[in-house]
Each structure stands twice: as structure tokens, then as C-alpha cells.
Amino acid sequence: MGRGRWQHMAAEELQQQYSPSRWARRLRGDAAVQAHIEAVTAGTQRARASTRTALHVPYGEGDGERLDLYLPEEPSDTFPAFVYIHGGYWQSLRGIYLCGHSAGAHLAAMVLCTDWTEFGVVPDIRGAVLVSGVYDLEPILHTYVNDALNMSREVAQRNSPMLCVTQAVPAACEVLVAVAQHDSPEFRRQSQEYSQALRSAGWAVSLLDLASVDHFDIIEKLSEDTYILTQIILNMIARA
């Protein structure tokens, strides 16, 4: 299924392809979304109860421009920073590591293709984990998602990581693109094609196709120590 394959889909099929809750196997529709919200909320509460935190730290002037920081129990001048960007279609140090899920994976991918020298900084990003992401926004224009975003074709193309992959530099970070067995065919296609685009540009990239999970529990299971994606992330950080 090539990048132009979506252009031959009817609007109704695109709606379905880019509605992850329709592909969940455990629950369907709103029930799948609600269960995901409850799972990640419970995980957040456990994390806040077990470590030091600094919550709702502003990084901009907007109401939604806030960070929650989870800090090691023992103070240290050198510890890795792991930045997680949640999904929701953009609505809902020493060694920085990025992890993004769904629309959050898109934002993390945009970080990788940004020329940070224009802003006078060079972030030391050692690794990026992109989970069930969307990397080409143009198909989204024809779905319910764009009702709120109101993107034009030009905006969608300008903000599509698939279309702004840069040639890897010698210090380019390690990238893991993960996708769920029960993600929609379009989400799976996008993950496969984006990982190939990175590889063609010289990036160190791996594609991980995770069996028996869907768009939601692929990320929920990160709270499990024995989960393969948890182990891969910990090993990525340990290798730095």
C-alpha cells in the first residue's frame, strides 16, 4: 500500500482507517477510548504516588502548555530525560529521549526533522520511540479529525514528518518506530513507510510490529516491567 493508496479510498473508509477505536479488539468505539483514559489515568496516579514530581510546569503562555516532571528519588546532576508526548490528535540535561504515541508520535517526529540551529539550540536527543503514529497528515484532511483542526493541504504537507525527513548526521539519534498488530491498515502503512523513509535517509531506525495489542494497550502496557517495548526503551537508555 503506497503513499498514494489513501487517495483512492472513499471518505467513509478514511474515517474508519483514522479512527483507532474502531480497530480495538478488547472494546469498541467510545468504550475503548474511555478504558484507555482510565488506564493511563491510573498509571499516572501510581507514578505520582511513588516518586517526586513537579506538576503543571509552564513552558509557554497557553493553558495547555504545561509539563509534568517525574524526578528520581535521589538527586543527581546527570540523569537521562525521557519526554513522553501523549496522543489525542493534537487535542486531547544529559541525553534526552523522546517517546510519542499516536498524534504524540507525530510531534516527536517533527522534533527530529526540525532545524534547531535556527532557534540557537542543539538538543542532545539520544533516542526516539514513535508508537502507532501518523506521519503523513494529508489523509487526515478527509476525516472527522480535521473538523476541529481545519488544516489546509499546504499546512498538512508542511507538518508531515514523512515529507520533511532530513539526511541523518553522524550524531543522529536511534529511532524506534512501533506499530500494533491491531492498528488500522493505514496506521500500519504509515509506520512502515515512515521507517523506510528514515532508513533511506541514513537514520538508525528499527520497525517493531507488536503482536496481540491495539492502538491503546500498545502504550498502556509500558507500566509493565516485562513488556517488550518497556525493555527496549530501558535498554536504549542504558546503552547511551
Neighbouring C-alpha atoms within 13 Å toward the C-beta of 98: 25
Catalytic residue among 36, 101, 215, 217: 215
Residue 19 is a catalytic residue: no
Torsion angle, alpha carbons of 3, 9, 15, 20, to 10:
-50
Catalytic residue among 36, 136, 160, 183: 183
Closest CA relative to residue 206, chosen from 194, 220, 218? 194
Close Cβ partners of 106 (under 8 Å, ≥ 6 residues apart) = 90, 100, 133, 134, 135, 137, 161
For the chain, helix, strand, coil in percent to 5 are: 45, 20, 40
Catalytic residue among 102, 132, 191, 195: 102
Residue 56 is a catalytic residue: no
- Long-range (24+ apart) CB contacts under 8 A made by 155-162 are 159/110, 160/135, 160/136, 161/106, 161/109, 161/110, 161/112, 161/113, 161/135, 161/136, 161/194, 162/3, 162/135, 162/136, 162/190, 162/193, 162/194, 162/197
Residue 183 is a catalytic residue: yes
CA distance 186 to 208: 16
- List the end-to-end C-alpha distance of the chain, in Å, as a whole number: 36
Query: Which residues are known to be catalytic?
Result: 102, 183, 215
